[in-house]
Homo-oligomer: A and B are copies of this chain.
Amino acid sequence: MTESTAPVLHETESPKRHDILAAAGMLFMQLGYGATSVDAIARAALVSKATLYAHFPSKEALFATIIDDACRTSLAAPILLPEDDPDVARVLRTLGDQMLRFILEGRALAIHRVVIAEAARFPELGRAFWENGPGRLRQALSAWMQRQQDAGRLRRVDAGLAADQFLGLLRSGGHVRATLGLPPPTEAEIDRTVQAAVDTFLRAFAPTG
């Protein structure tokens, strides 16, 4: 309190600890849990293994810390759902575009894949991923759709189910292939997928009138 005026959020953040987290994060994401050795992490962080074990009790704990943190920070993409925009199609197109590009991009895809890979050994990571990523978006989108229904701009249906369906339409095709390591969709394909998702969704959920 009396030493510094700098707003230190994590006073436990030594530089070495930061280096370890950075190196381990990269290696775990790229190679997975099993194929990444503690030796390799220490080497990449320019740190001895003893130092690593002074900061983290085990390889498992280090992995869990990193992935959990990555879920909390890297998945928290800003969700753009302007309440007052009456153009439902435009809002969905913008959201779909951002969301699809985000989950196809390197980091989010790497997190997704490593979490699926280790969901058996680290069940809590599956939950952390869901709650910070897809679940959060589903929640926000569902609430938005409910309000659009109340405003008469969407047909009245189960909002949670409708949100799931719109997100499912976005993921259709390209995302499954990308998680399997196959070539990701091109820019043009992404645009086409988003447009098609919005079209299909609105054909099905436009207000009856």
Q: Which residues of A contact B (CB under 8 A)?
A: 30-35, 113, 115-121, 123, 126-127, 129-130, 134, 161, 164-165, 167-173, 176-177, 179-182, 192-193, 196-197, 199-201, 203-205
Contacts and interface: CB of A to CB of B under 8 A. Distances in A.
A126 B169 contact: no
Query: Which 10 A-B pairs have CB atoms at the shortest separation, nearest pair first?
Result: A34-B34, A168-B172, A117-B117, A119-B181, A126-B180, A164-B173, A203-B204, A126-B181, A200-B204, A164-B172
Given A113-B117, A167-B172, 18 more contacts: A32-B120, A113-B119, A116-B116, A126-B181, A126-B182, A130-B176, A130-B180, A134-B176, A164-B193, A165-B196, A165-B197, A168-B168, A168-B173, A169-B172, A171-B176, A199-B204, A200-B204, A203-B203
A116 B177 CA distance: 10
A129 B168 contact: no
A120 B203 CA distance: 39
Q: In the complex this chain forms, how many copies of it are found?
A: 2
Contacts of A201: 200, 204
Contact of A179 (B33, B116, B169, B200): B116
A176 B199 CA distance: 23
B165 A121 contact: no
A169 B182 CA distance: 21
Nearest to A36: B34
23 contacts: A30-B120, A31-B120, A32-B118, A32-B120, A32-B121, A113-B116, A116-B116, A116-B179, A119-B180, A119-B181, A126-B180, A126-B181, A127-B180, A161-B192, A161-B196, A164-B172, A165-B197, A168-B170, A169-B172, A171-B171, A200-B200, A200-B201, A200-B204
A9 B154 CA distance: 58
Contact of A180 (B31, B115, B170): B115
